[in-house]
C-alpha cells in the first residue's frame, strides 16, 4: 500500500469515528466564505446557523462604525446562538438593550461563529472599526 492510500484511509476512519461520536469540528473561517453574504451581519436562534434567522443586515459604509443595533423580536433577543459577520467591521455583543450592560464578546470581521458563547444572552450589538476588538 502506498503512503497516500494509508493517509486517505486514516483520514476517512477519523472522519467516520468523529461523526459517530459527534465531534467533527466545523470548517474554519479560512477554509470557507462566511455563511452570511458579504457585507452582511447575520444571527441565528440555534447553533450552526439553524433555526430562525433574527438578523441579516447589510453594512458597508464607514458611517456604520458606532452604530448600535437591537436584536429584536419576541424571541430574537436573548436567543442568539450563532453568528456570521460578513462585514469588514468588528461586532461587539451586549447583554443589555442599546449597547449597554456587559460586553459579552467581540467578533472580528469576516468570521463565522457556529456557537456563540455565552449562549442566549445577547440583546444588542455595536459596530466597531476593523480592529475594534
Residue 2 has pLDDT above 70, yes or no: no
- Distances 35 to 44, 74, 112 between C-alpha atoms, Å: 11, 24, 7
Per-residue pLDDT of 101-131, as tens digits, reads 999 999 999 999 999 999 999 999 999 999 8
Per-residue pLDDT of 68-80, as tens digits, reads 999 876 555 678 9
- Pairing label, strands 68-70, 124-128: antiparallel
Q: What is the pTM of this model?
A: 0.72
Residue 37 has pLDDT above 70, yes or no: yes
Angstrom distance (rounded) from CA 22 to CA 39: 32
Which pLDDT does position 81 carry in this prediction? 93
Task: Answer with the residue of higher pLDDT: 16 or 53.
Answer: 53
Which pLDDT does position 76 carry in this prediction? 56
- Three cell numbers, residue 6: 494509508
Its sign, for the CA torsion 96, 68, 36, 112, is negative
Amino acid at each position: 500500500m502506498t503512503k497516500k492510500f494509508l493517509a486517505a484511509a486514516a483520514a476517512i476512519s477519523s472522519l467516520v469515528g468523529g461523526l459517530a461520536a459527534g465531534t467533527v469540528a466545523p470548517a474554519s473561517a479560512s477554509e470557507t466564505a462566511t455563511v452570511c453574504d458579504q457585507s452582511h451581519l447575520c444571527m441565528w436562534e440555534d447553533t450552526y446557523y439553524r433555526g430562525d434567522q433574527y438578523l441579516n443586515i447589510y453594512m458597508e459604509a464607514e458611517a456604520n462604525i458606532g452604530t448600535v443595533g437591537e436584536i429584536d423580536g419576541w424571541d430574537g433577543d436573548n436567543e442568539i446562538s450563532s453568528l456570521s459577520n460578513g462585514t469588514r467591521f468588528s461586532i461587539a455583543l451586549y447583554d443589555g438593550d442599546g449597547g449597554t450592560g456587559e460586553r459579552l464578546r467581540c467578533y472580528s470581521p469576516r468570521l463565522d461563529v457556529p456557537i456563540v458563547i455565552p449562549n442566549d444572552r445577547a440583546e444588542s450589538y455595536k459596530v466597531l472599526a476593523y480592529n475594534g476588538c
